[in-house]
Structure formats: structure tokens, C-alpha cells
Structure 1
Amino acid sequence: MPSTRPSADQVMQHLLEGNQRFQAGEIVHPRRTPEDFRALAAGQSPLAVIIGCADSRVTPEILFDCGIGELFVVRIAGNYIAGAGASVKGSVEFAVAELGVPLIMVLGHSQCGAIKAAIQHIDDRAALPGALNDLVNSIKPAVTASVNRPGELLDNAIAANVRRGVTRLRSLRPVVAPALKEGRVKIVGCTYDIETGKVTVLA
């Protein structure tokens, strides 16, 4: 990447190229030397915020073949935004307001356990113990919106959940929505296929 802050489109291209290397088994492991560590001690200037799932199979730094300091990663089971609370939204706002990231990505993935749970318990609002119930209930609107649509319910709900996240971020005030309107940040939604390693842009 150039030494100056790249545009959102340049960052997106950088990430997709890294994912292509990952798919091909040709990863280069950038920015992981002792010299890089020392430089990063002075501060961070990440290229993008990735809001992804906590699933152990979906690690953004690896699947985008990025180095330390390139990605500001927020991970939450189900990668949902609406209902996620201040910790998730505040993390995104910090990255935009304080770190000046040009790109926000909501990253869903195939075979998502949180989405599967929302499908399984779609008609039961008290089926799971503790905070699991709140998590699943926050994802259920994506499932409801996907019922009776062509294709697999799970795949459709995963995509709908990503799009809901993008929509929520685009209206998130007082930080993200104004930055989007002013052209300082771009918001995209993607899914990651665990079986193939491929990231696909949805929104």
C-alpha cells in the first residue's frame, strides 16, 4: 500500500488481492518483522475496520493476508450491529473518528452458528440461557426477512444479516453517518466461504 492514507477503493482492492493470495495458498505474511513491531509501537494507522464473527475459522488478518496494524477488527458472534450495544458501535466510531479509517466492512461467513441458532429458535424468545438469548434475538430479524425467499434459508439469512449491518452503520450517528455523507468513509458488506476461502462482496 502507498505510504499516504489510501482511498476506500484502494483498501478494498488491497484486501481482495490478499484474499486471492490466501485462496491460492500464496500468502506473503506482510508486516510481521521485528522492525514492523517497533514502528507500530509509536501508534496505529489501520486501513479498515472489519466487523466480523467470533468464529475461530474466520480470522480477517489471515484470510486477507494482512500484517499487524493493517486491520482494526471487531469480532462478535453473528457479526451483527443492530442490538450489539455500545462496545461494538463505540469501537467502530473510535476507528472512524480517532484513527481515520477509510473503509468499514461487515464480514459474514458460511455455516454461521449464530445464524443457525436464530433459525432453530425463530419462534422461541426464551430458548437459550443468559446472554445467548439476547444475541440470537438480535439476529432473528435477518432470518424473518429471509423466509420464503428462493435458495437456502441459512445462506439467505447470512446475507440478510450482513446487509442489515451495513444499513445500520450507514445511519449510525453522530460519527459514522456524517463521515459517510462527507465521503470520508465507505461501508461494504461481504461474506466469507469457509470451504473455499473466498470473500464475496454483497453490498
Structure 2
Amino acid sequence: MLENNTTRPATPREAWQRLREGNFRFINGQTQHPNQDGARRQSLVETQEPFAVIFGCSDSRLAAEIIFDVGLGDVFVVRTAGHVIDTASLGSLEYAIDLLNIPLIIILGHDNCGAVTSAIKAKESGRMPKGFIRDLVEHITPSVFAAESHGLFDVNSTVVEHVAQTTERLLERSRIISDAVDEGRTAVVGITYRLAEGKAQLVSGFGVS
């Protein structure tokens, strides 16, 4: 096990580099499981200083701390199916930026996403799912149309488009986050994750030069 790494990345670029390094270890079977022992747990009782917030899909195969090889207190995680933005997730993201001063927001999607697949099927069939699943589909459908406007019809290409669309919508909907990006205090980047390879790949972003 790696010794606890308590040096917090201070910039969006440093934060993304830390996550990239962890994902590289995960891909290659060299995970170090940092910041996961009793001493780290005790150090976090009174405070937290995560260096990234990860807004990802709720899919069970997309456990952020595992795929980026980080530990307790390293990342602030918000998850909804299809990383759909609602008022609760938006408030959580604004809390992370405004009160915890986190320098990086990751929008994390993945291939073979069930929520995106449901939106594609609903659009093709004209039949909407029942209950609040319909709400998820309604939020994702604009990304389906955007992907089709570029000649993209398969689920994985649509996932990439949906990640990019989510990064844009987040800045459009949150003045707190857009101001932080404009001031250089944080960045928002879109990442897609390949289930078979374990690879997290940058596909869009604002504020990372």
C-alpha cells in the first residue's frame, strides 16, 4: 500500500494529472490504494479537502474511487443515472465548488450506458418508460438528438455526446460554477470510461489549458 498522499492538488491541471495517474495504475493492475488506512480515516474526522468532484453515472461498474485509485477524502462524488443534472445534484456540485473550493469537476460517462440506451430506444419507438425513469430519458433525449445531428446513432457515440452536452449544461445552469471557471478557480471536464479496458478518456472541457 502506498503511503498516504495528503498533498492536495491546487490547480485543475494538477488534479486531473493525479486522477490520470491513478487510472493508469488501475488499467495496468498496479493499484496502490492510497489514503485508505486508519490514520487517514482519523485525519478526516473534523474536515475534508477533496481535490476533485466527480459527477458520474450511477452504474455499478463505475466506482470512481476504484477506477482512479484514490482514497478517503480525495474525491467528492455525486451520481445519478446517466449523470442527469437535477436540483439535488446541482446543489451538491455547487457546494463542492463554493464551500470546499475544489479545483476540478469531472463529468464521468461510460460505454454501454443503460440510461442513454433507454433514451435512444424511447426516441426510436416513440414510447416513453414509466415512472421517474421517464424523467431521466427526457433529460438525456436532447443529447440523442445532438448526436444524430452529427450522424452518430450508436449508444457509445451518443454517450460521448451526452458527456459533452452535460459539461455545457452544467455551466449554463450554474452561475456559481461558471464564475469559478471564468475566474480560473476550477475547471469542468468530460470523461468517458471504457468498461472493458478500464480507461478514462478526456472528451470535452472548460478551464483546463
Instruction: Give the structure-2-normalised TM-score.
Output: 0.90
1:76–1:125 Cα change, 3 Å: farther
Other-structure match for 1:80: 84
Task: Write the distance in 2 (CA, Å) between the matches of 1:150 and 1:123.
Answer: 15
Task: Write the distance in 2 (CA, Å) between the matches of 1:77 and 1:201.
Answer: 20
Task: Write the distance in 1 (CA, Å) between the matches of 2:127 and 2:90.
Answer: 26
Instruction: Give the structure-1-normalised TM-score.
Output: 0.93
Deviation (angstroms), 1:153: 1.8
SS at structure 2 position matched to 1:189: strand
Pairs within 5 Å for 1:71-110: 71-81=75-85, 85-110=86-111
SS at structure 1 position matched to 2:148: coil
More helix by share: 2
Q: Indicate yes or no: 2:53 matched with 1:49.
A: yes
Letter in 1 for 2:118: A
Q: Indicate yes or no: 2:11 matched with 1:7.
A: yes
Identity %: 35
Other-structure match for 1:113: 114
Instruction: Note the residue ranges of structure 2 that are not aligned, 5 or more in a row.
Output: 205-209
Deviation (angstroms), 1:147: 1.7
Q: Indicate yes or no: 2:147 matched with 1:143.
A: no
Moved more, 150-159 or 91-100: 150-159
Task: Write the distance in 2 (CA, Å) between the matches of 1:53 and 1:138.
Answer: 13
Q: Deviations 1:133-163 (Å, cap 9, x if unpaired)?
A: 0111110111111126456521221011101
SS at structure 2 position matched to 1:78: helix
Moved runs in structure 1, 4+ residues, more than 4 A? 123-126
Q: Indicate yes or no: 2:193 matched with 1:179.
A: no
Task: Write the distance in 1 (CA, Å) between the matches of 2:170 and 2:160.
Answer: 16
Task: Write the distance in 1 (CA, Å) between the matches of 2:53 and 2:91.
Answer: 12
Deviation (angstroms), 1:127: 2.3
Report if aligned partners of 1:126, 1:133 keep a CA contact under 8 Å in 2: no
Deviation (angstroms), 1:129: 1.3
Aligned Cα RMSD in Å? 1.6
Q: How many residues align?
A: 200
Deviation (angstroms), 1:128: 1.2
